[in-house]
Structure 1
């Protein structure tokens, strides 16, 4: 996507109008303090708004630091490899401490690769020896993605090595910038999820104020993205100019075992069944979410950042689950989310919150399922925007329209009108994968 198009998209997102509060019936008592404009209630609201502003400042400070570290790492990769790289839901990427070795588990193409920066003067035999030594080091390291994910190591010996030169190009530079755009779009969705929290029963902030905070966060994020894009462009050109052109990239590739996905999935079936039963959530849905979010890799990490099997974002889904179910009003810690049992518990609990709190006004089970899947990715408010002609993010208002439609009509509208293509594809993937886990594997 061109940068100009992204700016247009972003300006539309952050300038969408806000609407009067339309809470669920059971929220009336909780929200009464904001309807009662007595001196005490106004003072309480001002105090709470001050707290929200301070929280927003802290988040922005964290975000700036996180993105700075992320960009610095990508710049280091560019200087060495001619390109950056990052893990995604279907692609686990890890680098050695010196960034000279890259191991990639590509779940979509069912392929494992280990890439090594080698001296240009090495012979093919010497290159293969270096690569094999690096692979053996990875296998001995229990924390590496290869050692963690694959118990059977015999298949790893069946690959072959190819050698290519480190190369810079306009296309690779554009990929670095597109990665920033994609990361920004994902973070905008997390801001949307944060704003959706006003629709929960125990929140203390009005819909209008929630949207104002979201608009401010998005504006600051987009301004930061402009700066990151400009810097990425200049630093890529500088890295290309300074390149010594003395390294090649040796890549060892091998196909994953035929039952690799199934073997990984089996490890988490019992967890999905346990948590699904506890929350009255389909275990098949939990498994389909895991499949789509991490391909059953418990150490999966995305640039949002999101963590673990069900890709929990600490500030949104993690905070909702902590506050509503654990009585802890703060985000989760990433190290906890790498623990499979904690992650599956949290992800299933978040599905439960979406199903029985955010989206409970939707009467048809299948319609609510489709909306829950989409909301897991993009938030209930963006689901509501599909059905509210005035652009409101209020799901109670949207439910009135959803309840007039058949489940098939709801699905069709979601996959054609959701504001993010990623979410439309996500809904298709998860929905199609539920059938794979209807019977215990």
Structure 2
């Protein structure tokens, strides 16, 4: 194992060497509201795109919102010229996950970088998540209304099935448990039609296929969500892994992807107690599908600092203090032994006990209560199996949100807010 002090983008050289020819690099975060994770992640991603030819960034965000950003950063016809304006149109709570100054800085750099390249060689920005049922349905309506009016009926049938439940789509999930309220057949018909359209060339047809996949998987997600337990989590992460696979296929056999998501999604679930609860995640699925040599998983963590989060689901954001990590945790051990910012690159030759044994590893969601630190907010982890490398920040600062209009979201995710 190698430990390197971090002071700037050039200090990521050992990690780029470890990444080598890997096709997928997943960069995590221990919270959705920490400036330092986003800043270091975007610095590393710039190098992966500019120096190692990575094709796109895929994030834990909704497809339609991120598609608007994608059209901006790749300068597609009709796209918003300013990526900042595209990010400010994010509406789903918590908007600060992607509508923030750090992501805006990266997207403005990405547009500038792309403008010097042919359209076929521009790096994209895409969303992996499953929540945008209504937004994806509207995008399909808009596309079919202009391109394929004859196919619009299939989309309208799916819409009419969900329409009685309004924007509170979780009510559909509740109803489907007790009465014949399932919209599955209508959604499958819509998906089949959109897959046919995706056989045609062009970014619009692919985007609409993905929107139809979101609608189909969201229907399953909301049915699973109301039943509790890990099934909705598994539906969601499987959808994210499937979306990543489709993007890799779409960009071509030589394509490479950077994924931005929470540690609980990108760190291999089999190295945590998530596996005991029957949960899988995108990091595990990528390793299983592409092979360990083609996937590099990078975790992030801190000892103390500040974070943006909310006290309950849907509440306004707050800047909260992250207290010192509890004794015996991974973070406490790193606080005592590592520089203020450090990069750890793991290898098979050197495996100290703290790398192979199980230690508590902090995970902060969009909903956070610092007073729970002694009882919750930690995931038992075998660090050397969960990740291939780790980025350490001893003390962190809060993310810088952009102004955005927040719309009500869904019921709280399982587990809470990650």
How high is the TM-score relative to the length of structure 2?
Answer: 0.27
Larger Rg: 1
Higher strand share: 2
Higher helix share: 1
Q: Relative contact order: is structure 1 or structure 2 higher (C-alpha 8 Å, sep ≥ 6)?
A: 2
How high is the TM-score relative to the length of structure 1?
Answer: 0.26
